[in-house]
Structure 1
Amino acid sequence: MNDIGFVMCSPWYFREREQVDLRSPLAHRPRLQMYDAPDFVDRMLADPADSVEFGADDVWTYPVPVTSPSGNGRARLATSRLVPTHLRKLYQPLHERFYVVVVEVLCDAPGLPRAGRHEDITVGFRMRRLHTCVTGKGQPSRRVASKLVAELAKDPALEKAANAPDVRDVWWADTAWRERFKKANEDDLAKIDWSTDVQRWLTSPGGGGRWATVCSPADAPTPGETEELVPMTRMPVRSRDKECADDAGPAGPASRSLWFGVVPTYSGDHWMAPRPGGRPDAIEPKLDPHAIYEIECVVTRVRPGCPPETWASAPTEPFRLADPMDPAGTKNRTVTITLPDFRRLAARAGEPQGPGGVRIVTPPGSQMKFSPFGGPPGSGKGVIGAGAAVCTFAIELLFIVAFFLFLMFLPIVVLAFQLWWMLALRFCIPPRVGFAAMEDFLATASLGSLSADARAEFNLAMGMDFRDVPIDGDHPDWAGALDDADLPDGAGKVFAGNHNLTHALVAGTDPTTAVPPAPLPRTDSPDDPLCPATRSR
């Protein structure tokens, strides 16, 4: 039996679900599965076929500018839209998304028999990086990038996109589509040089690691370096098939050799990446949202007195990793923060100080000395003091000041840079919710003509209470500041007289219009063909 090798393929339930024959190339690659809760391992062990379906948000997208926003409500505030590609996108655990790679091991013999227990093997996976380098003149590169996005969006107008993503980021959309695109744009592509290397993560005995090109003599491992191999775990027979497995014996579901491993979508490791032109190496993260990755599974069999035998699978579909602040990921998880209660803090101030808090140490010669009572210090008004002090602040105090600065600078950032879409990224619930009446009023009037009560309601909806604050030319509120906002070319006002945009602003901040996410669709869990089809579940 030790003379028989192994091959790896998609798990049986993928082949059953997609009606793929073992002889098909589609059957000979590991598969990625997605879950939406931290208990994904327990759920997978109970039934590996039961996972969450990949949807529209699970492919990589590229933002392109929208010159004339249209639609109703929040859509009128959007100055960009997303163009989807065919490239898989994996999110972070903080986005409530978790991934495993699954593979089935078969014997490399006629008919590809199931591998059974085979206690003499271990299975792991290695993550490979596809690194593309693009060189060439800037104008052809930008033109090709714009056309790439236009092709993906099926919208010729997007060729005029001013900030199209570069060629490297969109090149891996689809092989067949890419060949057609190359023929249509061969003149520009002839002026661009690109190359794609497959890289592996090498770890050293002293710690740390680096990406190195596979099969490159110039990038060969140094003594002691080995490619990182993440261990995989064999899956037991799923719960609903245990009775069948006991009845069928060695020929039943227990004869399968199914393995899974948790896909790492983030890492705290960094490495020194070489840069061309003799420039110094740069510190870069091991995993980042710009590279493209794929996973290969590896079967290892140890032989006493001989080097171990290994068999590698075909790679999974390529994928990219979402960054932690990806808006399509952060929308999946709500974080609630309650501001400090001033009354409780005031009462606590009269009690003996405890040891808790944020302890801030100022090193010697590192203290910034200035007077904050006359506003921000002017040029040369601050000095560097001796420092070497230790202060402990209540964490509530730091949060109060930080939130005060946020409220102060949000209008400045929005108005100075005319980033109106930022106002649609927040919901505020005022004590008296009157969104419907305010929307009806704003459909025919401007912000400046709001009554005192409606103006107070509008400010509350925007997140600030101005009811006891003087409002005049020196102390404007949200309603007045937006009503006075000028267009960039000085051709008029942004909101004044633009009832549709003002209506969209209010509608976009109405918490009652928030759409709760629907339960994610789950993959089909087919009957095991090794069990009787008539067996009750």
Structure 2
Amino acid sequence: MLNTSEHPWKLVGPWYRPSSLGGYAVTKTALNRFSAPIIQKYADANFANNLVNEPQHSLRFNSEDFVQPFSGDPNQVITPIERAQSHTPLKLYLNTHSRFYVVVCELHCDVAGFPQVERNKVCEAGFVVRRRVPVITPELKGKVETLLQQRSQLQNDLNKVNMQVKTAQLQESQQSSDISGLLKTKSARLFSGLQSGTAEKLTEKLQDTNGQLDQLSQSGDIKIELQGWKSSDLKGVGNWLPIEETPEQITEQVIPMYPLIADPTNPNHSANGKTLWFGVIPTSLADVDSNNNPRFDDADLYEIRCFVRRHHSQFPIQKNHTDCCGDVIWSEATEGYQIAAHFDLDGTSHRPVNIKLPDLPAIRNQVNNAPAGRGASARIIAPAESSLNFATDSMDMPQGGEPLTRAGQQICFFSIFLFFIVAMFLFRLFLPILLFIFNLWFLLKLKFCIPPSFQFDAGLVGSLNFDGSFGADFNASIDAHVELMTEFTADLAVQVAIEGPDLEAKFNQPNFSITVNKGKDNEKTYVDEGVLANDLGLMIANGINASDDMRADIKNGGDSPGLSSLSLNELAGIFIAMQTEYQDVKHPELAGILPTPDSGLVYFEKVELNKEAA
């Protein structure tokens, strides 16, 4: 090691990865002189030990790791080249989402050869988390909000169209020798061309929107203020206040960094001969500002700057005191990131939760063979005038003035599962009402408590007119027809899934049709998208256990917008999601796949110094 006491230092990213998303390992040390510390991702709470054992062993960033996903596949690995085409920031998930992050940096002496700095020359290492907040004049606030909303919508539309193009190109690549296959190939080629043109238009609009935002920023109408978190005298309370990029005196709250020391028994350790540090990135803290707002939220853009403090040669290093009065060397800022919301769909899917309903026949057997009170493990104590007891006649609600409480204390015992059964019943009862009143039909695609198989009653089977294909003995064999309807919905979901995702565009093509249950008694061919949308609406209404009175309003719309307000593509997406089975051997096209803890986890390949990464 060279004597670096009089030489300038550079705090950069680690040698093995020029950016958080990877790329090529450093082949010439000069290439790493201007890199920033990187963010490394993990899915294991034991990430610190894994990092120390091998710094390079971390997860690659996928489409879901960005505020605006790159594709419809959340597990698609994003390369640095793809990342360069979009300015959307990273999205860091919470610990409750089973994701953990560290920042890693490396210290060099900024002279010829770019040598490492001896670790004992550093008396403090840490990092600060900052945020950049736009300062907009009131006159431009509305315009900027409109542009931001427009940019977000255009980006979503562009992602959707790109996914549709890929699907059409896949269908085109699957050549077939029969007439039906050739027609589908020709259709896919035409559809791919149409959607490619749409993608170009969306890209132009997106670029124009970004240009307008950039122009406002360059003209000074939008100013970006850099803020750092400064603690107050109260523990856990602080405020975001304006801060300089590289201040000489650090007044922000500092998060410590720890040395990455190579295992002396492992000659191939990535920290061998290197001066590396790492720090754990906080994504959720109990800290609040003076107005009780959380320190971190899912709306602001954050970044990290690492620093080391050079040991002042006139003072001894004090192990229990971080500030030895030496110069502070700052790194470049990491790329910006946002924090995922607590109920983020991708985040919550990282750790699936299994909830099994009580087995009522087994409970019945236990109750019949057990003494009274067995299993009533919840002790409910109601203070005086708080028991909320009431009696009803013919299930009528109690009238005002009736005694609803008891004067004395009441103690009751219940089995825990009774609370769960009642809650589940109320959930199923109010689900269609909630969706209808607030027009929340998109939530059906979350498939929460939706029966994976549709069950039809006689009324719905009768309302779906199949031009007499059920035969004259319909009323006498309703059970058989309900079974046919169940088979029909399964095949319809399969056909819609195969022909999707844009059915509306397909129906605009000449001679396009969808045939369901071909060769069976209830075969039906859809040549009109309106007829298909009508049937899908009826089936969805039945699938959420809507009553006969509600079914028509839900499909056609009453006081609130009904399913008729949705497009055919939206109806098809909801129908497929509701029909999907978690295990469907008969219809593999509808076999749903629950995420597992290791879904989408792809690790970086280890690279050796002066060798390009794979």
TM range (shorter): 0.5 to 0.7
Please tell me whether the aligned partners of residues 136 and 191 of structure 1 are also in contact (alpha carbons under 8 angstroms). Answer: no
Q: Secondary structure at the match of 1:314?
A: coil
Higher strand share: 1
Give the aligned CA root-mean-square deviation in angstroms. 5.1
Cα distance change of structure 1 residues 375 and 13 upon mapping to structure 2, 3 Å threshold: farther
| Alignment equivalent of 1:60, drawn from 60, 64, 67 | 67
* Residue in structure 2 matched with residue 196 of structure 1 by the alignment: 224
How many angstroms apart in 2 are the aligned matches of 1:238 and 1:384? 69
How many angstroms apart in 2 are the aligned matches of 1:213 and 1:479? 56
Q: Secondary structure at the match of 1:485?
A: helix
Give the partner amino acid of 2:227: Q
* Residue in structure 2 matched with residue 412 of structure 1 by the alignment: 433
* Residue in structure 2 matched with residue 75 of structure 1 by the alignment: none
How many angstroms apart in 1 are the aligned matches of 2:449 and 2:345? 19
* Residue in structure 1 matched with residue 540 of structure 2 by the alignment: none
Matched, 1:265 2:283: yes
Q: Secondary structure at the match of 1:284?
A: coil
Please report how far the alpha carbon of residue 122 of structure 1 lies from its aligned counterpart in structure 2 after TM superposition: 3.3
| Alignment equivalent of 1:236, drawn from 261, 284, 287 | 261
How many angstroms apart in 1 are the aligned matches of 2:210 and 2:563? 43
Larger deviation, residues 314-323 vs 345-354: 345-354
How many angstroms apart in 1 are the aligned matches of 2:346 and 2:370? 42
| Alignment equivalent of 2:294, drawn from 281, 285, 302 | 285
| Alignment equivalent of 2:328, drawn from 305, 310, 318 | 310
Please report how far the alpha carbon of residue 127 of structure 1 lies from its aligned counterpart in structure 2 after TM superposition: 0.8
Q: Secondary structure at the match of 1:524?
A: coil
Q: Secondary structure at the match of 2:266?
A: helix
1:212-227 aligned within 5 A? 212-215=240-243, 226-227=251-252
Cα distance change of structure 1 residues 334 and 352 upon mapping to structure 2, 3 Å threshold: same
Please tell me whether the aligned partners of residues 294 and 317 of structure 1 are also in contact (alpha carbons under 8 angstroms). Answer: yes
Please tell me whether the aligned partners of residues 52 and 523 of structure 1 are also in contact (alpha carbons under 8 angstroms). Answer: yes
Matched, 1:18 2:24: yes
Matched, 1:210 2:213: no
Looking at CA atoms only, which structure, 1 or 2, has the larger radius of gyration?
Answer: 2
Higher helix share: 2
Please tell me whether the aligned partners of residues 144 and 213 of structure 2 are also in contact (alpha carbons under 8 angstroms). Answer: no
Please tell me whether the aligned partners of residues 442 and 503 of structure 1 are also in contact (alpha carbons under 8 angstroms). Answer: no
Please tell me whether the aligned partners of residues 129 and 200 of structure 1 are also in contact (alpha carbons under 8 angstroms). Answer: yes
Please tell me whether the aligned partners of residues 89 and 321 of structure 1 are also in contact (alpha carbons under 8 angstroms). Answer: yes
* Residue in structure 2 matched with residue 298 of structure 1 by the alignment: 307
How many angstroms apart in 1 are the aligned matches of 2:545 and 2:124? 66
Give the partner amino acid of 1:45: V
* Residue in structure 2 matched with residue 507 of structure 1 by the alignment: 576
Please tell me whether the aligned partners of residues 60 and 85 of structure 1 are also in contact (alpha carbons under 8 angstroms). Answer: no
Deviations, residues 251-298 of structure 1 (Å, cap 9, x unaligned)? x953211111121111222222xxxxxxxxx32111100111001112
* Residue in structure 1 matched with residue 605 of structure 2 by the alignment: 524
Q: Secondary structure at the match of 2:289?
A: strand
Q: In percent, how many aligned pairs have the same letter?
A: 25
**Unmatched segments (≥5 aa) in structure 2:** 71-85, 162-204, 317-323, 457-461, 491-543, 585-590
Please report how far the alpha carbon of residue 34 of structure 1 lies from its aligned counterpart in structure 2 after TM superposition: 1.2
1:455-470 aligned within 5 A? none
Q: Secondary structure at the match of 2:334?
A: coil
How many angstroms apart in 2 are the aligned matches of 1:157 and 1:50? 33
Q: TM-score, normalised on structure 2?
A: 0.59
* Residue in structure 1 matched with residue 108 of structure 2 by the alignment: 106
Q: Secondary structure at the match of 2:51?
A: helix
Please tell me whether the aligned partners of residues 271 and 285 of structure 1 are also in contact (alpha carbons under 8 angstroms). Answer: yes
Q: Secondary structure at the match of 2:41?
A: strand
How many angstroms apart in 2 are the aligned matches of 1:5 and 1:417? 62
* Residue in structure 2 matched with residue 396 of structure 1 by the alignment: 417
Deviations, residues 29-56 of structure 1 (Å, cap 9, x unaligned)? 1101112233322332222112211121
Q: TM-score, normalised on structure 1?
A: 0.66
* Residue in structure 1 matched with residue 40 of structure 2 by the alignment: 33
Larger deviation, residues 128-137 vs 423-432: 423-432
Matched, 1:8 2:11: yes
Please tell me whether the aligned partners of residues 13 and 528 of structure 1 are also in contact (alpha carbons under 8 angstroms). Answer: yes
Give the partner amino acid of 1:527: E
Give the partner amino acid of 2:309: T
Give the partner amino acid of 2:130: R
How many angstroms apart in 2 are the aligned matches of 1:198 and 1:492? 44
How many angstroms apart in 2 are the aligned matches of 1:420 and 1:327? 16
How many angstroms apart in 2 are the aligned matches of 1:341 and 1:299? 60
Q: Secondary structure at the match of 1:339?
A: coil
Please tell me whether the aligned partners of residues 48 and 238 of structure 1 are also in contact (alpha carbons under 8 angstroms). Answer: no
Please tell me whether the aligned partners of residues 68 and 155 of structure 2 are also in contact (alpha carbons under 8 angstroms). Answer: no
Please report how far the alpha carbon of residue 100 of structure 1 lies from its aligned counterpart in structure 2 after TM superposition: 1.1
Give the partner amino acid of 1:7: K
Q: Secondary structure at the match of 1:294?
A: strand
Please tell me whether the aligned partners of residues 108 and 117 of structure 2 are also in contact (alpha carbons under 8 angstroms). Answer: yes
* Residue in structure 1 matched with residue 58 of structure 2 by the alignment: 51
1:402-441 aligned within 5 A? 402-426=423-447
Cα distance change of structure 1 residues 478 and 244 upon mapping to structure 2, 3 Å threshold: closer
How many angstroms apart in 2 are the aligned matches of 1:423 and 1:181? 32
How many angstroms apart in 2 are the aligned matches of 1:338 and 1:56? 32
Matched, 1:487 2:556: yes
Q: Secondary structure at the match of 1:406?
A: helix
How many angstroms apart in 1 are the aligned matches of 2:211 and 2:332? 29
1:139-154 aligned within 5 A? 140-149=143-152, 152=155
Q: Secondary structure at the match of 2:277?
A: strand
Please tell me whether the aligned partners of residues 295 and 315 of structure 1 are also in contact (alpha carbons under 8 angstroms). Answer: yes
Q: Secondary structure at the match of 1:520?
A: coil
* Residue in structure 2 matched with residue 322 of structure 1 by the alignment: 340
Larger deviation, residues 6-15 vs 301-310: 301-310
